[in-house]
Amino acid sequence: MKRVADGVERLGQFPRPLVNVYLAGDVLFDAATTWDRWRITRQLKGRPLSLVALTHVHPDHQGLADLICRERDIPLACHADDVDYMEGRREIQEGMEGMNPLLVRIQKSWTGPPHRVDRVLVEGDEVGGFRVVHAPGHAPGEVIYFRDSDRVAICGDVLRNISYATTLNGLREPPDIFTYDPAENRRSIRRLADLNPSVILPGHGPEVTDMAAFESFVAGLD
């Protein structure tokens, strides 16, 4: 694991942090994909957990939620607008019709089974010392977990800091193909900027510590 902020660790992934899971105290933020089972469970062995809190319900963030919650007998939390997806009443990332069949197959293989949401989150709730900020666009229930004391932001897929094609670092919007409302997501990126974060911990790629570069990225959005 790598310490990425005070009291926050990012679980390791070789060779690059492509699918991120964060541990802050005994709260696990996001749950990677089903393919990550051995990577995640090995690193969490012996670490106490009290809650799994999702930034949003997409296959690369909820994949192990059911497994971890059942094995540890702990609750699951996500935003109210993603509960139906997590509990199986709606298909995760619905609207993928017409997408490359291989990509659809991979996405489905990453997806974990439905699981009851024990804690339904709304704007302003507190999770492990972080405040819930609703930031839809990429997913209906996308949230930023923001710690007001030091302005650390766990932002899920509001933005990423890596290229999926080259694995090179760089700030980018999430791909339109996986984003139900790109314009709304841009508003959420600006909302993240309005929080004046000191460190941004994205769902994909390394931590963002150069706030001047982040501000320049936001200024360049249409």
Give mean pLDDT in consecutive 10-residue pieces for the chain, a chain of 222 residues. Answer: 95 92 98 95 96 96 97 98 95 67 72 96 97 96 97 97 88 89 95 97 96 95 83
Q: Return d(Cα 168, Cα 165) in angstroms, integer.
A: 8
* Total domain count, the chain: 1
Token digits of residue 115:
């699981």
Q: How far is CA 43 from the centre of its chain?
A: 18
* Residue from 97, 92, 126, 134 nearest 109 by CA: 92
Query: What is the predicted pLDDT for the residue at 176?
Result: 86
Q: Return d(Cα 55, Cα 58) in angstroms, integer.
A: 9
Query: What is the predicted pLDDT for the residue at 98?
Result: 60
Token digits of residue 86:
């997590």
Q: Would residue 76 be called left, alpha or beta, if left means φ above 0 and alpha means ψ between -120 and 50 degrees? A: beta
pTM: predicted TM-score of the whole model, two decimal places = 0.93
Query: What is the predicted pLDDT for the residue at 180?
Result: 87
Q: Which domain holds residue 74?
A: 2-219
Query: What is the predicted pLDDT for the residue at 100?
Result: 64
3 state DSSP class of 105: helix
CA-based torsion, 167, 172, 176, 181: positive or negative: positive
* Residue from 161, 171, 218 nearest 191 by CA: 218
Count Cα neighbours of 46 within 13 Å in the Cβ-side half-sphere. 2
CATH of the domain at 140: 3.60.15.10
